[in-house]
């Protein structure tokens, strides 16, 4: 969790964020009142957003990068439909990748001709291709985003690099992009990339009002602010989990120290007898160290094994940190070994400096 909190402010997402203004928009169920059609309304709005002073690019989509996209089952042409995993799906408008400073790795982006009556098309990302099409060329393949056999087939026309389709953690990265013009999407997000960033709020609101004065926008902010707000749980609960982990390590160390110190004191008469019979301090030290090392080795192996099994449950709680972080495990092992060594060594050293006759007499 310490690593997670450190990564919150330093993680590089690899796409434009600080200079991208975003806002949410909900279209009425009966359709837009000024535009003659929903598609023309969205096309006109995107053109207006792109023409704003200082705007370099603009797009409209169902979800933006680093925000959780919807899930849908995917069926590949020629693959058993009963084996249909779920993937992320984002409905996007024109210039989506350009707005976030990215380009397709292969194929083409959606065109104006990819409208409602045109053949259905899709763009898949790299994780989708690796997971569901290993060793195959995704361009030209067909897929269906529904288990219903009557659902339309979509032809893959492009391959995109991963763009955080499942939130900032990106634990489920495989996804598909479909044209916004070919689906009925009412809850939308506007994105305008420009040097002004959040200063574009009033201009964007004015452009929406020019098309429909009764259609408000909400949640105006930069993409960076939107992503940071989605990570509030790490900042709120992270310090508490760190404190709980530190307390657990302290109690484990204290308990181990007490246990090993008690076990060593129980052997003081044995140590005294050995020294009275001629055992050297180094012999006694090896005896105590050997027993302590065996017990600690058994405990560390058992604890590390259980920790590794339980760490998989932490994958959804950490932010871009491997649950099996060797630095964390190494630090815990060193702390416990130091505690065990000190707890056994201190009483053993004290016993070796004491006259065996006095020790036996006290017993």
Confidence band (pLDDT; 50, 70, 90) for 35?
very low
Out of 99-113, 205-219, 251-265, 266-280, give the one with best mean pLDDT. Answer: 99-113
In this predicted model, what pLDDT tens digit does every residue of 331-362 receive, in sequence order? Answer: 888 888 888 777 777 766 766 676 767 666 66
What's the rounded mean pLDDT across residues 173-198?
86
**Does the pLDDT at position 244 exceed 80?**
yes
Distances (CA, A) of 9 to 13, 168, 217, 282: 11, 12, 28, 52
**Does the pLDDT at position 325 exceed 80?**
no
Q: How many CB atoms lie within 10 A of CB 187?
A: 10
**Does the pLDDT at position 180 exceed 60?**
yes
Spatial separation of the C-alpha atoms in residues 15 and 332, rounded to whole Å: 36
Angle in degrees, 0-180, between the axes of helices 281-311 and 326-352, rounded to the nearest 10? 160
DSSP state of 170: T
Q: How much is the pTM?
A: 0.76
In this predicted structure, what is the pLDDT of residue 175?
93
Confidence band (pLDDT; 50, 70, 90) for 62?
very high
Confidence band (pLDDT; 50, 70, 90) for 317?
confident
Out of 246-255, 282-291, 311-320, give the one with best mean pLDDT. Answer: 246-255
In this predicted model, what pLDDT tens digit does every residue of 130-146 receive, in sequence order? Answer: 999 888 889 999 999 98
What's the rounded mean pLDDT across residues 255-275?
79
Q: Which of 89-103, 122-136, 145-159, 277-291 has the lowest mean pLDDT?
A: 277-291
**Does the pLDDT at position 293 exceed 70?**
yes
Q: Taking all residues of the chain, what is their mean pLDDT, rounded to a whole number?
A: 83
DSSP state of 345: H
Q: With residue 143 as reference, give the H or E element that holds it.
A: strand 142-144
**Does the pLDDT at position 155 exceed 90?**
yes
Spatial separation of the C-alpha atoms in residues 115 and 273, rounded to whole Å: 93
In this predicted model, what pLDDT tens digit does every residue of 91-130 receive, in sequence order? Answer: 998 899 999 988 899 999 998 888 888 899 999 999 999 9
Spatial separation of the C-alpha atoms in residues 324 and 8, rounded to whole Å: 19
């Amino acid at each position: 969790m310490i690593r997670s909190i450190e990564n919150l402010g330093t993680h590089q997402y690899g796409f434009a964020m600080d200079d991208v203004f975003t806002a949410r928009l909900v279209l009425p169920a009966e359709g837009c009142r000024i535009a003659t059609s929903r598609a023309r309304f969205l096309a006109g709005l995107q053109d207006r957003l792109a023409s704003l002073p200082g705007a370099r690019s603009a797009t409209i989509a169902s979800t933006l990068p680093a925000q959780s996209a919807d899930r849908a089952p995917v069926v590949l042409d020629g693959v058993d439909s009963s084996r249909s995993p779920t993937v992320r799906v984002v409905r996007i408008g024109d210039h989506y990748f350009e707005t976030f400073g990215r380009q397709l790795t292969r194929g083409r982006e959606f065109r104006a001709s990819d409208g409602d009556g045109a053949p259905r098309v899709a763009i898949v990302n790299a994780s989708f291709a690796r997971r569901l099409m290993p060793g195959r060329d995704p361009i030209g393949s067909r897929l269906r985003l529904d288990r219903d056999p009557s659902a339309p087939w979509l032809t893959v026309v492009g391959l995109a690099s991963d763009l955080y389709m499942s939130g900032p953690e990106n634990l489920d990265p495989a996804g598909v992009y479909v044209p916004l013009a070919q689906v009925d999407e009412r809850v939308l997000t506007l994105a305008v990339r420009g040097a002004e960033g959040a200063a574009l709020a009033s201009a964007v609101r004015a452009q929406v009002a020019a098309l429909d004065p009764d259609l408000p926008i909400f949640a105006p902010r930069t993409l960076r602010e939107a992503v940071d707000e989605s990570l509030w749980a790490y900042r709120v609960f992270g310090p508490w989990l760190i404190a709980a982990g530190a307390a657990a390590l302290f109690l484990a160390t204290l308990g181990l120290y007490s246990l090993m110190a008690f076990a060593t004191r129980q052997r003081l008469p044995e140590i005294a007898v050995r020294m009275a019979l001629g055992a050297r301090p180094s012999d006694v030290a090896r005896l105590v160290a050997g027993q302590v090392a065996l017990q600690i080795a058994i405990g560390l192996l058992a604890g590390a094994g259980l920790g590794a099994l339980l760490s998989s449950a932490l994958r959804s709680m950490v932010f871009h940190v491997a649950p099996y972080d060797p630095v964390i495990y190494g630090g815990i092992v060193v702390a416990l070994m130091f505690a065990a060594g000190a707890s056994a060594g201190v009483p053993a050293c004290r016993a070796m400096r004491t006259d065996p006759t006095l020790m036996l007499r006290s017993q």
